[in-house]
């Protein structure tokens, strides 16, 4: 009943942005029609698989795609992004979405993506967990590539359309797009944290970045703290005026506030309850050892996710005899990520060394202490793991939100399972019934693991059902609706 109602509500919401006729797409036409949506993101929501006549496009996994793709399927529009290789590809339709590829050459990928995006912005915006690097050559390419994305978006958008730019790769696009197309409503959403003044000030191009973002009408962050950091910096470096959540810049009003991203709760919930998923869970549990408690972690293999600290806490748990391989197993699933960047290769070696060390010390015949899988899983496999685990460890050192925490909650339809969550994940602000930890405080971390493993069933159930109500209510559709209605000015 509730699900049917939700679907109806969503269908109504989604009708507010409808696809224009093909002929209307040309710039300058369609002033009386409902505005369409153009999403601009570094990557396309699809990737090429197979070779020769078997080659085709498939939908991709990952934070942004997971969040926006379900909405885009119901809000027909255009997605502008890089295809992931240097081939020049014509626009095409995939799963009812128009795809407009942006071509990047090898040198551009090395400087704009591996360099400026992943070795400057990524570490700088994540508390400088690794030292950010600043190179003028990377910056030049970042500017040039941002201009190409802005040009592609300008060409795709009809008069008065809504353009939604995503993430740290494209922070100059809002202002570049406004310069070309002042008729558009432009939104920007940052999926990662926005740093405090004392870190952001390191950036040699700090004013350019702030002014680039200020080209948007609505600037969304994962947390109020990020929005406040931005606001303070804009007043200081860009001569903007205003408060924590609304600014004035060059005579225009700008909304800058938190829009915490979420997941398609019902999608996970329905699949996790299916007979196929239940069978998968039973099989997985019997393979891992029917009576063993399963501790689970699923992340991109990234230094912000705290994989090493987590393994050290698990190691101590075994070392102090608080858990034994006979009755407890830790499963770490890690998606390979950014392997062209040196820090990521080093991290992989470090993780593999610790896993080997723990297993060398604590595994028993037929009872491996840590199962480590460095690979991509299908959504169905992920759901099986989420639904089978007793304790889920989501313990990043810093994370904009973390969708894994919310996916786990959505997969626990019987309200079992305990979530251990880092206070430095954006999700901790909403998921207050999780056991929160400071992942750098190992005593506290080990204690939280012990508490999670021993938590009485009733307490776990009470906590999980509150977590589920929260994620169900504030799902990805609510997030999208909130952002887009703010952008349309209909809030
Ligand atoms: P990410 O850093 O990529 O995203 P996260 O929010 O955890 O992080 O999303 C990861 C997604 O990848 C999840 O949907 C998860 O299911 C999937 N995934 C993880 N491991 C996988 C595996 N082995 N196989 C298949 N799928 C896997 C960025 C920010 C986050 C923010 C999101 C969305 O860093 O803080 O939550 O964007 O805004």
CATH for 447: 3.40.50.2000
* DSSP H or E segment with residue 298: strand 293-300
Are 475 and 266 spatial neighbours (Cβ–Cβ below 8 Å)? Answer: yes
Report d(CA 166, CA 169) in Å as an integer: 8
Give the position, in ligand 1's atom list, of the atom nearest the Cα of 193. Answer: 35
Tokens of 80: 């502008």
Give the position, in ligand 1's atom list, of the atom nearest the Cα of 427. Answer: 36
E strands, 390-455, where?
A: 391-394, 418-422, 435-437
**Angle 265-273/457-473 helices, nearest 10 degrees?**
130
Q: Are residues 432 and 395 in the same domain?
A: yes
What pLDDT was estimated at residue 87? Answer: 84
Ligand 1 centre from 285 Cα, in Å?
A: 24
Radius of gyration over every alpha carbon of the chain, rounded to an integer in angstroms: 23
Provide the CA 259 distance to its chain's centre, in angstroms.
13
What pLDDT was estimated at residue 29? Answer: 30
**Angle 265-273/379-388 helices, nearest 10 degrees?**
70
Q: Are residues 86 and 162 in the same domain?
A: yes
Give the position, in ligand 1's atom list, of the atom nearest the Cα of 394. Answer: 7
**Catalytic choice (191, 264, 269, 475):** 191
| Domain with 249 in it | 2-6+15-261+477-488
Testing ligand 1's pocket by substitution, the residue of 43, 192, 303, 403 carrying the most ligand atoms inside 8 A of its CB is: 403
Q: Are residues 31 and 108 in the same domain?
A: yes
Torsion 114-115-121-124 (CA) sign: positive
170 lines ligand 1 (CB under 6 A): no
- Which residues are CB-neighbours of 381 under 8 A, at least 6 positions away? 280
- CA neighbours closer than 13 Å in the CB half-sphere of residue 273: 11
193 lines ligand 1 (CB under 6 A): no
Tokens of 31: 């002033």
Q: Are residues 95 and 54 in the same domain?
A: yes
Are 377 and 333 spatial neighbours (Cβ–Cβ below 8 Å)? Answer: yes
Q: Are residues 114 and 201 in the same domain?
A: yes
For this structure, is 299 an active site residue?
Answer: no
388 lines ligand 1 (CB under 6 A): no
Tokens of 47: 């990737």
Tokens of 247: 């600014």
For this structure, is 399 an active site residue?
Answer: yes
Tokens of 89: 């590809």
Q: Are residues 326 and 241 in the same domain?
A: no
64 lines ligand 1 (CB under 6 A): yes
Biggest alpha carbon distance in the chain? 71
Testing ligand 1's pocket by substitution, the residue of 41, 63, 267 carrying the most ligand atoms inside 8 A of its CB is: 63
Report d(CA 468, CA 206) in Å as an integer: 40
Q: Are residues 39 and 82 in the same domain?
A: yes
* DSSP H or E segment with residue 284: helix 275-288
Report d(CA 248, CA 277) in Å as an integer: 51
How crowded is residue 263: how many other Cβ atoms within 10 Å of its Cβ? 23
- Which residues are CB-neighbours of 482 under 8 A, at least 6 positions away? 259, 491
**Catalytic choice (269, 399, 474, 481):** 399
What pLDDT was estimated at residue 51? Answer: 85
Q: Are residues 53 and 182 in the same domain?
A: yes
* Pairing between β-strand 328-335 and β-strand 293-300 as defined by DSSP bridges: parallel
Q: Are residues 284 and 405 in the same domain?
A: yes
Structure letter (DSSP) for residue 314: H
**Backbone dihedral angles phi then psi of residue 230, each to the nearest 5 degrees:** -65, -45
* Pairing between β-strand 252-258 and β-strand 246-249 as defined by DSSP bridges: antiparallel
**Backbone dihedral angles phi then psi of residue 63, each to the nearest 5 degrees:** -50, -60
Give the position, in ligand 1's atom list, of the atom nearest the Cα of 399. Answer: 35
335 lines ligand 1 (CB under 6 A): yes
The pLDDT profile of the chain, 491 residues, written as one tens digit per residue, is 333 334 333 433 333 333 233 333 333 333 334 458 999 999 998 888 888 888 898 887 655 666 676 667 666 689 999 988 888 899 999 888 899 999 999 999 999 999 999 999 999 999 999 999 999 999 999 999 999 999 999 999 999 899 999 999 999 999 999 999 999 999 999 999 999 999 999 999 999 999 999 999 999 999 999 999 999 999 999 999 998 899 999 999 999 999 999 999 999 999 999 999 999 999 999 999 989 999 999 999 999 999 999 999 999 999 999 999 999 999 999 998 888 788 888 999 999 999 999 999 999 999 999 999 999 898 999 999 999 999 999 999 999 999 999 999 999 999 999 999 999 999 999 999 999 999 999 999 999 999 999 999 999 999 999 999 999 999 988 998 899 999 998 76
- Which residues are CB-neighbours of 24 under 8 A, at least 6 positions away? 30, 33, 158
Q: Are residues 246 and 180 in the same domain?
A: yes
Give the position, in ligand 1's atom list, of the atom nearest the Cα of 333. Answer: 23
Are 113 and 170 spatial neighbours (Cβ–Cβ below 8 Å)? Answer: no
Report d(CA 89, CA 340) in Å as an integer: 24
Q: How many structural domains does the chain have?
A: 2
- Which residues are CB-neighbours of 456 under 8 A, at least 6 positions away? none
What pLDDT was estimated at residue 489? Answer: 86
Q: Are residues 136 and 185 in the same domain?
A: yes
Are 334 and 301 spatial neighbours (Cβ–Cβ below 8 Å)? Answer: yes
Report d(CA 287, CA 116) in Å as an integer: 44
Closest to 264 (Cα-Cα) out of 479, 21, 11: 479
Considering the entire predicted model, what is its pTM? 0.91
What pLDDT was estimated at residue 329? Answer: 98
E strands, 95-143, where?
A: 97-102
For atom 32 of ligand 1, the residue with the nearest CA is 63
Provide the CA 83 distance to its chain's centre, in angstroms.
19
Cα 431 to Cα 107, 354, 407, 469: the distances in Å are 42, 30, 12, 10
Testing ligand 1's pocket by substitution, the residue of 43, 62, 334, 431 carrying the most ligand atoms inside 8 A of its CB is: 62
62 lines ligand 1 (CB under 6 A): yes
Q: Where are the alpha helices (DSSP H) in 170-256?
A: 173-180, 197-200, 206-213, 224-237
297 lines ligand 1 (CB under 6 A): no
**Angle 206-213/224-237 helices, nearest 10 degrees?**
110
Report d(CA 72, CA 95) in Å as an integer: 10
427 lines ligand 1 (CB under 6 A): no
Report d(CA 189, CA 43) in Å as an integer: 15
Q: Are residues 252 and 181 in the same domain?
A: yes
465 lines ligand 1 (CB under 6 A): no
């Amino acid at each position: 009943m509730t699900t049917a109602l939700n679907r109806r509500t969503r269908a109504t919401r989604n009708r507010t942005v409808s696809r224009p006729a093909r002929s209307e797409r040309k710039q300058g036409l369609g002033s009386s029609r409902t505005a369409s949506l153009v999403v601009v993101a570094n990557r396309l929501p699809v990737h090429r698989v197979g070779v020769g006549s078997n080659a085709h496009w498939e939908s991709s996994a990952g934070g942004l795609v997971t969040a926006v793709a379900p909405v885009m399927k119901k809000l027909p529009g255009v997605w502008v992004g890089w295809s992931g290789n240097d081939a020049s590809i014509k626009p095409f339709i995939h799963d009812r979405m128009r795809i407009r590829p942006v071509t990047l050459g090898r040198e551009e990928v090395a400087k704009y993506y591996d360099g400026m995006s992943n070795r400057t912005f990524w570490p700088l915006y994540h508390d400088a967990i690794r030292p950010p690097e600043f190179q003028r050559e990377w910056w030049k390419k970042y500017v040039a590539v941002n201009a190409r994305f802005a040009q592609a978006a300008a060409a795709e958008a009809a008069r008065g359309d809504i353009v939604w730019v995503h993430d740290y790769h494209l922070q100059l696009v809002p202002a570049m797009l406004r310069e070309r197309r002042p008729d558009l409503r432009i939104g920007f959403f940052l999926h990662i944290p926005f740093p405090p003044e004392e870190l952001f000030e390191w950036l040699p191009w700090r004013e350019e970045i702030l002014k680039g973002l200020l080209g948007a009408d609505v600037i969304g962050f994962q947390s109020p703290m990020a929005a406040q950091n931005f606001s303070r910096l804009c007043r200081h470096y860009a001569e903007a005026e205003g408060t924590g959540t609304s600014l004035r810049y060059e005579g225009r009003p700008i909304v800058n506030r938190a829009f915490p991203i979420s997941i398609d709760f019902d999608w996970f919930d329905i699949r996790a309850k299916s007979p196929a998923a239940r069978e998968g869970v039973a099989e997985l549990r019997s393979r891992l050892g029917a009576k063993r408690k399963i501790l689970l972690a699923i992340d991109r293999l990234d230094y912000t996710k705290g994989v090493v600290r987590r393994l050290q806490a698990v190691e101590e748990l075994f070392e102090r005899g608080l858990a034994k391989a006979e009755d407890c197993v830790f499963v770490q699933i890690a998606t390979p990520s950014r392997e062209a960047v040196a820090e990521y290769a080093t991290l992989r070696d470090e993780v593999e060394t610790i896993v080997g060390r723990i297993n060398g010390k604590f595994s028993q015949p037929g009872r491996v202490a840590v199962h480590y899988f460095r690979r991509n899983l299908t959504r169905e496999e992920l759901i099986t793991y989420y639904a089978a685990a007793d304790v889920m460890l989501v313990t990043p050192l810093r994370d904009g939100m973390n969708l894994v925490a919310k996916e786990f909650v959505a997969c626990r339809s019987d309200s079992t399972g305990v979530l251990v969550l880092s206070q430095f994940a954006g999700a901790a602000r909403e998921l207050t019934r999780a056991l929160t930890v400071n992942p750098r405080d190992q005593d506290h971390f080990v204690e939280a693991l012990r508490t999670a493993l021993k938590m009485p069933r009733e307490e776990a159930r009470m906590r999980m059902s509150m977590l589920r109500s929260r994620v169900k209510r504030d799902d990805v559709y609510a997030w999208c609706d909130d952002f887009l209605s703010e952008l349309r000015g209909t809030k």
